[in-house]
Amino acid sequence: SSSPLSAVSVHLRRNIGVTAVAFNKDLDPIQKLFVDKIREYKAKRQASGGPVDTGPEYQQDLEREFFKLKHMYGKADMNTFPNFKFEDPQFFFFLTRTIKKP
């Protein structure tokens, strides 16, 4: 009877720091400001549908970089993943051609 009780007490003593933090619902002021800013940024991003607090120069830079990439790699749409098409090599044709030569 004593060993389960002592095991529980040892467990509680070891985890008192974790449980104290878990049961403390109040945030310190700096942590609260940080979490509030993250939530504010998330709301702004969802409202604007893109990067937050950017001006027209950001859009111009983005278009210029897409233009450079388009000319470098020859792709029209940089937002889609390229389709790869692999064809099987024709080994049979190569083998019959080399066998008929002698």
Q: Indicate whether 31 belongs to any domain.
A: yes
Dist. CA 63–CA 69, nearest whole Å = 10
What's the total number of domains in the chain? 1
Residue 81 lies in a domain: no
Domain contains 36: yes
Residue 68 placed within a domain? yes
pLDDT tens digits for the chain (102 residues)?
A: 567 777 777 777 777 666 666 666 676 888 889 999 999 999 998 888 878 888 889 889 989 998 888 888 776 666 777 788 888 777 665 555 555 555
Residue-by-residue DSSP string for 17-78? HHHHHHH--PPPHHHHHHHHHHHHHHHHHHHHTS-SS--HHHHHHHHHHHHHHHHHH--S-T
Closest residue by Cα to residue 66 from 51, 54, 81, 77:
77
- CA–chain centroid gap for 65, Å, is 22
Report the pLDDT value the prediction gives residue 40, as an integer from 0 to 100.
94
**Contact 58/51 with Cβ under 8 angstroms?**
yes
**Does the residue 70 lie in any domain?**
yes
Whether the Cβ atoms of residue 32 and residue 25 lie closer than 8 Å to each other: no
Distance CA 44, CA 29 (A): 22
- 95 domain-assigned: no
pTM for the whole structure: 0.38
pLDDT (0 to 100) of residue 39: 95
Structural domain includes residue 58: yes
Residue-number span of the structural domain to which 23 is assigned: 4-74
